[in-house]
Amino acid sequence: MRFYISDLHFFHNSLNTMMDKRGFADAESMNEYMIERWNARVKKKDEVVILGDFSLGTPEQTTEVLRRLQGKKFLIAGNHDRFAQSSRFDTSLFGWIHAYKEMSDNCRKVILCHYPVMCYNGQYRVNGEGAARTYMLYGHVHNTYDAELMKRFVAETRACTRTVRGESEPSHIPCEMINCFCMRSDYTPLTLDEWIELENAE
């Protein structure tokens, strides 16, 4: 099974009182809770794609956390993932590290980037029932005003119509962009279907 999650920010203590206001007593208790939530869901053979900003810890601290987390881990590099650039970090702890990647997930295309890509590859592809065949998964914006702006962008894009060659009536523009921010799932990695369900429920 494959899961996705973003912006865990291990060791980033200030997020408990600023920006996210996570509310943990300190970085250590935050780290332990996130590890517990991860391992309660992810099994040894599962895959987890981390959509950036995994850790602000040293290469040594980050290595210790990675070794405690179950599953095969893959990293879409974020702006805070400086540990991955250090010669002291063993990059083989991740199956791969990329800034951007396109993959397949149960016959659907997923566009993976730490930053939201507003005009993503495959955006207009739909199946015979008109359902989206491509999803753009991102992080970076946490639950900030930028996240609200992204919601507005998605809603306005979906409200627009365009004429498609071969069709008599204009159709609405598909826009399937999902912010995989860890606090939205209580720090639990989710499958693509679970992120879609969460997105539709909000």
Span 113-164, pLDDT tens digits: 999 999 999 999 988 887 889 999 999 999 999 999 999 999 999 999 988 7
Per the domain annotation, does 163 fall within a domain?
Answer: yes
Per the domain annotation, does 86 fall within a domain?
Answer: yes
Q: Tokens representing 170?
A: 């204009």
Per the domain annotation, does 202 fall within a domain?
Answer: no
Per the domain annotation, does 99 fall within a domain?
Answer: yes
For residue 127, what pLDDT is reported? Answer: 87
Per the domain annotation, does 113 fall within a domain?
Answer: yes
Per the domain annotation, does 75 fall within a domain?
Answer: yes
For residue 106, what pLDDT is reported? Answer: 94
Instruction: Give the domain CATH number at 81.
Output: 3.60.21.10
Contact between 67 and 76 under an 8 Å Cβ cutoff? The reply is: no
For residue 202, what pLDDT is reported? Answer: 81
Sheet architecture: strand order including 72-76: 2-5, 47-50, 72-76, 97-98
Q: Tokens representing 55?
A: 């850790």
Structural domain total, the chain? 1
Residue 153, domain extent: 2-197
For residue 54, what pLDDT is reported? Answer: 98
For residue 130, what pLDDT is reported? Answer: 78
What residues contact residue 99 under an 8 Å CB cut-off, 6+ apart? 76, 77, 113, 114
Give the DSSP letter string of 79-138.
TT-GGGGSTTS-GGGSS-EESEEEEEETTEEEEEESS--SS-TTTT-B-TTS-BSEEEEE
- Residues of the chain with confidence (pLDDT) below 70: none
Contact between 76 and 113 under an 8 Å Cβ cutoff? The reply is: yes
For residue 190, what pLDDT is reported? Answer: 98
